[in-house]
Structure 1
Amino acid sequence: MTMTAGRETLVDGEFAFTQADFRHIASALHSHAGIALHEGKAALVYSRLAKRLRTLGLRNFAEYIALVESPEGKEERQAMTAALTTNVTRFYREPHHFDHLRDVVMPQLAARARAGGRVRLWSAACSNGQEPYSMALTVLEKLPEANDLDVRILATDIDPNMVVEGRDGIYSDELLAPVPASGRRHFNPVS
């Protein structure tokens, strides 16, 4: 670490990145998305946002912070949030969750749905949709007629680009590898 104009530099690189810069970005991210960053993430924040500075033709983090905090910075706040979140997903990620859904939760939910009741499931932080699709396939194992009943799965993510990918529901054969053959008929694989 070095000192820059009385402020401790957290990352030495193409752009100086100080504690004050980090605090402003962390505050903006928390205000915009409710995500809390600790200073141990400074290198990650720098590496991901330095790309944004280059793309935008900015000279330093002070200019970037001014943009993000300005009324005109709405799109960049979203781009910053997308850059600072990690989209980790795969079909049947954390398999024990899907086992629990199938074996413990679904018998009651299936009975409720068959009796005319509503069933609502939520997949938060769904990235590009592989986990909510895994939920849907798990639901269909126990409730094959779910499409004809009042059963819905809400899938959300903070990154709207990931939501668009998930909505499309198009996955490569490689990504679909964990999906049982009986579930693959629900997808249109791409090469």
Structure 2
Amino acid sequence: MRAAAVKPITISDADFLKFREFFYRKTGIHFDDNKRYFVDKRLVERIEATGSENFRSYFIALRFEAKGEELQQLVNLMTVNETYFFRESYQFDCLVKDMMSEVARRKRPGGRIRIWSVPSSTGEEPYSIAIYLLERWAQIEDYEVEILSSDIDTNVLNAARRGVYSQRSVSNLPKAYLEKYFTRLNEHEWKIQRELVESVEFSHVNLAEAVETRRFRDIDIIFCRNLLIYFDDLSRRVAAEAMFDALHPGGFVCLGHSESMSRISSLYQVRRFADAMVYQKPLEESGL
């Protein structure tokens, strides 16, 4: 007697809409219809991994789980983390030529300058910031510079803390920097210096959750590149306002080349420097 065939797990149109709305409320990330295959594939993967019978049983468990561990598994699967060292380096040029010096002029000698990189992805951006400052900002010894870096994906945060990178990831680095700040592990991998890992404070954060962003205050420069393109208009405004609240008056925000704060929020002023256009929290906030 032949065993009954196992019915494949499918995601209906109604299932997709239910999940899309739930995921949006939890993360601020909106999936367009053209992401349907991407979402369905990862949902089926988690349904099978958890031993759920179908989408309905999985979704009920997901919604009512107390610790949020399965939601975090989904977040890690659903977020895209494509990056490399010195990506869009013109903004790092702007950082060391203009933004840092302007921020420093408002500080006392030896004062603290705080830079926040969100999302951290696997660490290439915050470590690029650290290398740029060490190599190209002449006043690095005169101030206490803190680099904070956050992401909603716990897997990439763990990868960032490990600091092991592929040849492709480091391909834009000058050879001198690669030899100075990395150790070659094998033909395909490089490990960043432990001192650089320890110079960045990594943390989990969801920009759509106000309770998680409140701990970020007195930030001088924020790099938030290629994240808001995954949000809808409302979530973008929420994120923009969270960053505005986190910034010290006169602080700067750098967005990705295809993103524009002017279309999201009127809170910021546009600043055009030689290398990049960035967005600034008005100094009037402090009464200066």
TM range (shorter): 0.7 to 0.9
The amino acid across from 1:187 in the alignment is: F
Does the alignment pair 1:187 with 2:182?
Answer: yes
Q: Tell me, what secondary structure is at the counterpart of 1:176?
A: coil
Matched, 1:98 2:104: no
Q: Is the 8 A contact 1:123 1:132 kept in 2?
A: yes
CA offset digits 1:139-163 (Å, max 9, x no partner): 1223367377310111111101111
Going from structure 1 to structure 2, the CA distance change for 1:26 and 1:126 (only over 3 Å counts) comes to same
Q: Confirm or deny that 1:128 pairs with 2:122.
A: yes
Q: Deviations over 1:58-105 (max 9, x none)?
A: 232112211210124611100011111111111111222222223222
* 1:133, distance to aligned residue in structure 2 (A): 0.7
Aligned partner (choices 53, 65, 71) of residue 59 of structure 1: 53
Q: In structure 2, how many angstroms separate the alpha carbons of the residues matched to 1:183 and 1:146?
A: 17
* In structure 1, C-alpha distance between the alignment counterparts of 2:28 and 2:47, rounded to whole Å: 23
Indicate the SS of the match to 2:147.
strand
Q: Is the 8 A contact 1:170 1:188 kept in 2?
A: no
Partner Cα separation in structure 2 for residue 97 and residue 59 of structure 1 = 49
CA contact 1:126–1:156 (8 Å) conserved in 2: yes
- What percentage of aligned pairs have identical amino acids? 33
> How many equivalent pairs are there?
179
Measure how far apart 1:123 and its partner are.
Answer: 0.8
Where do residues 36-75 of structure 1 align in structure 2 (5 Å cutoff)?
A: 36-72=30-66, 74-75=68-69
Moved more, 93-102 or 127-136: 93-102
Distance in 1, Cα, partners of 2:175 & 2:106: 28
Gaps of 5+ in 1: 1-12
CA distance in 1, matches of 2:122, 2:170: 13
1:4 paired residue number: none
**1 CA distance for matches of 2:86 and 2:12?**
40
Structure 2: distance between partners of 1:78 and 1:126? 16
Aligned to 1:10: none
Aligned to 2:169: 175
Q: Which of 172-181 and 123-132 deviates more?
A: 172-181
CA distance 1:67–1:19, shift in 2 (3 Å): same
TM-score by length of 1: 0.81
**Structure (1 or 2) with the greater helix fraction:** 1
Quick check: which one's strand share is greater?
2
1:138 aligns with 2:138: no
Q: Say which of 70, 80, 88 aligns to 1:76.
A: 70
2:148 matched to 1:154? yes
Measured on the aligned residues, the alpha-carbon RMSD in Å equals: 2.5
- 2:125 and 2:88 map into 1 onto residues whose CA distance is 9
**Cα offset, 1:137, TM superposition:** 1.1
Going from structure 1 to structure 2, the CA distance change for 1:38 and 1:173 (only over 3 Å counts) comes to closer
Once the two structures are overlaid, the 10-residue window that deviates more, 172-181 or 72-81, is: 172-181
Match of 1:16 among 7, 10, 14: 10
- How far apart are 1:174 and its partner, in Å? 4.3
Work out which of the residue numbers 100, 104, 110 in structure 2 matches 1:116: 110
Amino acid across the alignment from 1:60: N
Structure 2 portions without partners, runs of 5+ = 1-6, 187-288
Kindly tell me: are residues 53 and 147 of structure 1, through their superposed partners in 2, closer, same or farther at Cα, counting changes over 3 Å?
farther
